[in-house]
Structure formats: C-alpha cells, structure tokens
Structure 1
Amino acid sequence: MSAPAAPLLTTPLNALHIELGARMVPFAGYSMPVQYPAGLMAEHLHTRQAAGLFDVSHMGQLKLVGPDAAAAFETLVPVDVVGLPEGKQRYGLLLNDEGGIMDDLMFFNQGCNTLFVIVNGACKVGDIAHIQARIGGRCQVVPMPDHGLLALQGPQAAAALARLVPGVEKLVFMSGGSFAWSGVELFITRSGYTGEDGFEISVPSAQAEALARVLLAQPEVKPIGLGARNSLRLEAGLCLYGNDIDTTTTPAEGALNWAIQKVRRTGGARAGGFPGADKVLAQIDDPAQLTRKRVGLIAKERVPVREPAVLENMDGQAIGQVTSGLLSPTLNQPIALAYVQPDYAAPGTEVFAMVRGKPVPMVVAPTPFVPTRYYRG
C-alpha cells in the first residue's frame, strides 16, 4: 500500500478564497485558488486593465543576516549580490554543482547586513536546506513561515495601494522598502510576475486577510487565481519553474544569460565561484556547446498548443518540445515557450507542434509576447 498523501497546506487567505467562491486546486503542496467565479479570461483582462490581487503566500520567504551574508550568497548564485544597492531587488538563480537551475528567486538588499529572499513554493523546503547547508556557517538563515505574500498587479495597482499605504507610488520597478498600514509593518517591492506594473507585499500572516479585504474593497481591485497568473506570466515571457526551467536546464539553455552580470562572468576577483561555474560560463562564451535553447513561439493557426507537445521540422524530425503553452487572452493567438535545437532558435523560424497527431505551424518569436509595463520612473 502506498502512503497516504500529505494533507494540503493552506495560506492565511484560505477562508477568504472559499468565501469568494474560488475553485481550489492542489499547487506546490498547498490548496490554492485557480480561479474565481468570473473565470480565467475575465481575471486576466481585468489585471491588464485595472488591478488584480493574487495570493502568493505559498512562496518561501527568508532572510540572510550578517556582515558576510551578501558574499556568502554570491557563492550559490551566478549574479551580483555584493554590488546590489540598498533598497534594490534583483532576479537570481540557485544552481547545483552541474550548473542546473535548482530554483529561480528574487533577493532584496534591506541594508543592515540583511538580504530578503523569495523562492518558489514547490522548492522552498529544499532551497532553505541547501542554503543552510552551504552558507549557514557564514550568516544566519532565517525562514519566515509566519508571513504571507500578496501581489497587487496591473496599471491601477499603484493608485489602489497608495490610498492605503501612502508613499508606495514613489517606488520604481525592482525597488522597495518598509511601510506601515494600520500599525502593521509591511515590506513592499515594486515587482511581480505579470509583466504589468505592481507590487509584492510581505505581511504577517495574522494580518494578511485583513489587508486582502481592504485591498479588495478598492474599486480597481478584483481577486485573481493561479490560472490567470499563469497566462499573464506566459504573455510576459517569464519562466515557470518546473516547466520552463529545472535542474536539467543551465542558464544559457534557458536563455537567461541576461541575469548573469558581467562582474560574475569575466576576469576579476568575483567572476565564477558559483556552483557549476565552469560549465555555465563555457556555454555563455561558446554557444556552439548548447544542444537546445529556450524560445518563444506563436502559432499561425488558432489551435491551442500545450505542453508537452513535440516540435518537428518540415521533414517531420523531432527538434524540440513545448514547456508552456496556451491561447493568449490578450493576443487571441496561441503562444508557447519551448526548447528547440539551436539551428531552429532564430526568430522567424517555422516549426510544427504536434497536436493530436496534426502539425500546427508555429513561428519562433521574441519575448515578451505582450509588451511589459514596469514603472521605471
């Protein structure tokens, strides 16, 4: 007999989701809202036009504390941690010793020798154990299970949030700070996973529901589920960990070279020195070493192409695979992220996705599929 499945965890907003009529599904070990009664299409378009509130409390939040925290963390990720200014956030990749991506994450320099780190929900237990094992002797690794995380996204997010938390409108993309709301301390960054302007708000779990209710009371704001979160991030060309990148993917294969700053790549005291550095840097220096590369695809016909559809060339030979795909609500065209052999990675290249035995013509296209609207001041 197989062991019974572990009961699903719940976020601090679980009761609110049920009250709002959400359809709940298992995700990253949690019971999460996939959509509300309005439905995925309406939620997606509302976020693009106004403001959507997402519960992302399943994500892992932690702090790395100590005078050596930045230098220590830099030994685990191929990005510039030491040079990140106070008050700024950066995207990072946690790599294994083979250069594979264990997780992608965000980290923020809070000053006072403190980094605030957000990791993916499905990876957080492993990530925190890995970080503790590798650098726990050089800094304090402080998980924050007593905090929820809300994302307010869309062109009217700043107006809605500034009514409750004056001053947030002064933040620019990838910056943040500590704020107070009704005596509750919030940590807010101007960032997100939708391609829109917006904010992520770390809030003590005990106050998360009260904050969510006040946000939902703003005229611009509606609750948005995981379904629209996925379609929004795919239109923005953003990777979903476990689909588009995983431990078998290197940064160069994943088309994530942009995330590795020059100071970690070439010459100098801080180049390399992260797990899998020899392989990762060799692939960046010599793209001929790659056997596959992540690309965006747009279908020429209105046939949704979903993962894990096989991609073929004109001669019917397999040349890749779709890792995320759906009908774009904004473009009303099927879009996808996929891995293809490097010869087929150039924009404009035609490939064929096999859907129920029939080839659907698709064209390699640059991402994002929908222009991003991050607020840069």
Structure 2
Amino acid sequence: MAEPLSGPLHKTPLHQLHVEAGAKMVPFAGYDMPVQYPTGVLTEHNWTRSDAGLFDVSHMGQAFVVGPTWEATAKALEALVPADILNLKPGQQRYSQLTAEDGGILDDLMITRSAYAGYEGWAYLVVNAGCKEQDFAHIGPRLPDGVTLKPDATLALIALQGPKAAAVLDALLPGIAATPFMTFTETKLDGMFVHASRSGYTGEDGFELCVEAKDAAAIWQRLLSDERVKPIGLGARDSLRLEAGLCLYGHDIDTTTSPVEAGLTWSIQKRRRTEGGFPGATRIQKELADGPARRRIGILPDGRAPAREGTVIKAADGAAIGTVTSGGFGPSVSGPVAMGYVNARFAEPGTPVLLEVRGKDLPAKVVTMPFAPHRYFRG
C-alpha cells in the first residue's frame, strides 16, 4: 500500500492517535497513514469481518456542490457523471464516476442529496484522496452559473465497519441502526456534529462518519472505548475491499477503463443509459448495446501463490488475454484472490486461465465476485 515519497506528507486529525497506538505509518495519497497496527493485517481483517473495525479515511476529499434548487444542482452533476442524480431522495446517496469525454474514468465518488431545510440545493461529495485536487479542478469550472463547488478541509471522515458496527453506534446514538444502506442520518454525539451514512468499502455493514476535524480524536476514542471496536489500517482495508470485489481507483479503474468494462453498469440508472448527456456517453452507450471488448473479472488461483497487480493472464493455450489489477491473499477465503481485465470472450465464470507468476504459468479460473458475501443492511 505504500507509495513513494514526494514532498512533505499531510497528516489527518487522527495522526497522533495512530502513532500512539503503535501503528506502522506509510505514505499514501500524500498522507502519512497507518497501514497496520501491532496485531497485524490478518487479525485486523478478520476482526472487521467478525466485530467492528474503525478506519481513518480523513484523507478522502469532501466537498459540497451548491445550487439554488436541487434540480439545478442535480443537472449540473449529471453533466459530469452517468448516474441519475435528479431522482435522489433527500438523505439518499449514490455511487458514480467522473467520466472523461472518451468514456474513461477520472475518479469514482459518492454523491449525497441533503435532507435539511435551507440546504435543498446542496449535494455532498466524497472523492478519492489521490484524485481530490484534480477532481475539484475538473468539477469547479464545469458547473453552470449559479452552481458552485465548495471543498471543505475542516471535515474528517471515520468508517466503522463490520457486523457489530450498527450495535456499537446505536448504543451511542439510539435509533441509528434503523438507517438503511446508502442513506444518511445527521445527529450529535456528546454535542459534536455527526453526518452518519450507512455505507463503506469493505463489503460489510457499517457507517461512514463525517465529523468536524476538531472533534475527530474525541469521537475516535469514544468509539474505541467499546471492546467490540479495534482500529484497522490500510492493509486490511485493501484486503477487505478486494474480497468484496470493489474497485480501487488507479488500479482496477482509471482513465483507460469505462464503467461498462469495469462491471459498474449497475451504477448507471435506466434514464441515463437511454438519455446520455454525460461525458463519454457515446462510448458507454455503445458498450451497453454491443458489449465491451474486455471485462473486469474475478480470478481464483488453484494453488497458494497470490497473483499481484500486473500479472499476465493467459488463455489455456498460453496466449495473453489480460492483466491482473488487484490481487493478494483473501483471509476470509483462506487463499489467494484476484481481479483483472480479460478479452470479453474469456470472461465467463468457470473459464480456465493461467497466471504468469514468477515465470511459471499457474492454473486459475474465472469466478463471479464478490469473494466474500456483501452484508449491507437494506432495511
């Protein structure tokens, strides 16, 4: 997960608490972030699957798009993303992608419609840490008159994930466990503002808590005072999202991949598929109609050797047909798992493939994702 150093690293409001907890810190997306705590990645991964893991995701970009009405804001966003934003209900959020004119993906993001009086024209955005500056530079100038982008660096973001997350949070914020997946509740914890969305990137049930940076440490420690909660680093966050079959920007999706190739067609609602009107619509609508030339697939190696990013995927006859984009050990399945792109002719689940690992062709097969079942609470 570590990335090369280039200039001084930023610190999240929780940095000192990670250091005091003995976390191994690494550079990631321009921030000094915890990759693991003393118990290690495997323990942290399994704890999140069985109890409740606490993640610092304050490095992510948070912003608001503000227009005079929801219709104005939604139409401005629909000129940038392929999702149906206009029909979001107050308090509902949706996953989408910023697409380029050629249909490639500039970033993926979450978009939430405000549910509060006086904020009817507000949308809340969460974008990837490594892309936030370019995302904001992309979005701002493309908004029409009367609609503005307001990045907010005064906010922190904490994710509480796992089967016990809702019970932990409900003990502090009674009634919050009833919040359905992909909606949010705004409340206060000990007088501190909390925007709690039922979402996350682990495949588990859980919440993402947008809080004021000045309150982040107090809220983090309050959550950790519950014995069901342990802090989790970037290492386990990556293995959890890989098992959940979720894309990591810059690896499984980027400017060369379209949402259709990536298997993200579900995130483009019917109206937008028909009407278009977003960047890259020509390519995306053609791929929806005719099928893409390549597809993102899940891969289950036969043996114990993991296939890492960049591994060549071959057909049974040895011809190269694609590349692994994410791969590693899946603790929940007790073996290696991977995802990548192959020629669409080889994307059918059950198709035998070969993975070129350390100069050897190792047998594997194409499988349906996720590798570990999603456990979202849909109400």
TM-score normalised to structure 1 length: 0.96
1:205 aligns with 2:206: no
Query: Given the alignment, which residue of 216, 219, 222 partners 1:214?
Result: 222
Query: Given the alignment, which residue of 290, 296, 313 partners 1:294?
Result: 296
Residue 46 of structure 2 is matched in structure 1 by 45
Quote how far apart the aligned CAs of 1:242 are.
0.4
Quote how far apart the aligned CAs of 1:119 are.
0.4
Residue 101 of structure 1 is matched in structure 2 by 105
Over residues 297-340 of structure 1, what are the superposed CA-to-partner deviations in whole Å (9 max), with x where a residue is unaligned?
11111111111101111221111100000110000121111100
C-alpha distance in 2, partners of 1:137/1:241? Answer: 30
1:13 aligns with 2:14: yes
1:80 aligns with 2:84: yes
Residue 263 of structure 2 is matched in structure 1 by 255
Residue pair 1:151, 1:192 contacting (<8 A) in 2 also: yes
Residue pair 1:72, 1:138 contacting (<8 A) in 2 also: no
C-alpha distance in 2, partners of 1:34/1:24? Answer: 6
Partner SS for 1:241? coil
Query: Given the alignment, which residue of 355, 359, 369 partners 2:371?
Result: 369
What is the letter of the counterpart of residue 195 of structure 1? G
C-alpha distance in 2, partners of 1:291/1:71? Answer: 31
Residue 336 of structure 2 is matched in structure 1 by 334
Query: Given the alignment, which residue of 122, 128, 141 partners 1:133?
Result: 141
C-alpha distance in 1, partners of 2:354/2:216? Answer: 46
Residue 311 of structure 2 is matched in structure 1 by 309
What is the letter of the counterpart of residue 298 of structure 2? G
C-alpha distance in 1, partners of 2:351/2:59? Answer: 38
C-alpha distance in 1, partners of 2:79/2:185? Answer: 26
Residue 170 of structure 1 is matched in structure 2 by 178
Mapping of residues 113-152 of structure 1, within 5 Å: 113-135=121-143, 137-152=145-160
What is the letter of the counterpart of residue 8 of structure 1? L
Residue 34 of structure 1 is matched in structure 2 by 35
Residue 349 of structure 2 is matched in structure 1 by 347
C-alpha distance in 2, partners of 1:81/1:254? Answer: 21
Identity %: 51
C-alpha distance in 1, partners of 2:340/2:57? Answer: 25
Q: In angstroms, what is the RMSD of aligned CA positions?
A: 1.0
Partner SS for 2:262? coil
C-alpha distance in 1, partners of 2:365/2:269? Answer: 30
Quote how far apart the aligned CAs of 1:136 are.
5.5
C-alpha distance in 1, partners of 2:144/2:364? Answer: 47
Partner SS for 2:114? strand
Partner SS for 1:265? helix
What is the letter of the counterpart of residue 143 of structure 1? P
C-alpha distance in 2, partners of 1:166/1:136? Answer: 41
- How many residues were matched structurally? 368
Residue pair 1:110, 1:177 contacting (<8 A) in 2 also: no
Partner SS for 2:200? coil
Residue 61 of structure 1 is matched in structure 2 by 62
What is the letter of the counterpart of residue 174 of structure 1? M
C-alpha distance in 2, partners of 1:312/1:27? Answer: 32
TM-score normalised to structure 2 length: 0.96
What is the letter of the counterpart of residue 275 of structure 1? P
C-alpha distance in 2, partners of 1:59/1:137? Answer: 27
Residue pair 1:22, 1:37 contacting (<8 A) in 2 also: yes
Greater Cα shift, 106-115 or 240-249: 106-115
What is the letter of the counterpart of residue 237 of structure 1? G
Dislocated runs of 4+, deviation >6 Å: none
C-alpha distance in 2, partners of 1:191/1:102? Answer: 22
Unaligned runs of 5+ in 1: none
C-alpha distance in 2, partners of 1:253/1:212? Answer: 38
Quote how far apart the aligned CAs of 1:256 are.
1.0
1:224 aligns with 2:232: yes
1:194 aligns with 2:207: no
C-alpha distance in 1, partners of 2:254/2:356? Answer: 23
C-alpha distance in 2, partners of 1:355/1:126? Answer: 35
Residue pair 1:347, 1:365 contacting (<8 A) in 2 also: yes
Over residues 234-279 of structure 1, what are the superposed CA-to-partner deviations in whole Å (9 max), with x where a residue is unaligned?
110000000000011111111111111001012xxxx111001111
Query: Given the alignment, which residue of 242, 246, 249 partners 2:254?
Result: 246
C-alpha distance in 2, partners of 1:94/1:154? Answer: 29
Partner SS for 1:210? helix
Unaligned runs of 5+ in 2: none
C-alpha distance in 2, partners of 1:51/1:333? Answer: 23
